[in-house]
Amino acid sequence: MSILREFTCDDLFRFNATNLDPLTETYAVSFYLQYLARWPEFCFVAESPSGKIMGYILGKAEGSVARELWHGHVTAISITPEYRRLGLAGKLMNLLEEVSEKKDVFFVDLFVRVSNKRAVNMYEKLGYIVYRRVLDYYSGTNTEDAYDMRKALPRDVHKKSVVPLKDPIRPEDLEW
């Protein structure tokens, strides 16, 4: 049994085990605090009965409110290795999608490493599609492409936001 609740500043002192996965991006404390200050309604944790952080999700709403680019964005999602395959990521994604719907967005998007097949498969099971490929999105010792994955929400009645693009783009060409 787990509790899904809003991410708090105190959680920053307790979520290190979740970020030990090499596929999880770890950011400076100021980055997390910015999300908690600007988009607290998009930030959640899954907590065990003993109080251990099992996973978290950080997101935001971005784009042009007046245009069809207004969307929810999953910035980070990670589940502590010992709690994977319990459906926690899906529950956290559902929470972020619910908040996004309340913000009247057209879609939710996220970026995922092309090599992270498990995550890509999970997102596809949750209704996301590969919208486009972003070349060299992940930098560092080994650069890697990302999939920009999207899921249309009810406001996008005609599902325009999820018509895949054929040609890859570079990170500097991303509008949002």
pLDDT at 2 (0 to 100): 83
The CATH architecture that domain 3-173 belongs to is 3-Layer(aba) Sandwich (3.40)
Q: Which residues contact 103 (CB under 8 A, 6 or more apart)?
A: 61, 70, 72
Q: Which residues contact 78 (CB under 8 A, 6 or more apart)?
A: 18, 19, 21, 24, 55, 56
Task: Return the domain boundaries, the chain.
Answer: 3-173
What's the CA gap between 58 and 35, in Å, rounded?
7
Q: 127-130: long-range contacts at Cβ-Cβ below 8 A with a sequence spacing of 24 or more?
A: 127/151, 129/162, 129/164, 130/164
pLDDT at 154 (0 to 100): 96
pLDDT at 67 (0 to 100): 83
The number of helices, as runs of H, and strands, as runs of E, in the chain is 3, 7
pLDDT at 23 (0 to 100): 75
Overall pTM surpassing 0.85 (yes/no): yes
pLDDT at 17 (0 to 100): 83
Per-residue pLDDT tens digits of the chain, which is 176 residues long: 689 999 999 999 998 888 887 778 888 899 999 999 999 999 999 999 999 999 999 999 999 877 889 999 999 999 999 999 999 999 999 999 999 999 999 999 999 999 999 999 999 999 999 999 999 999 877 899 999 999 999 999 999 999 999 999 999 999 87
pLDDT at 118 (0 to 100): 93
What's the CA gap between 74 and 100, in Å, rounded?
10
Token pair for 141: 């010792």
pLDDT at 141 (0 to 100): 78
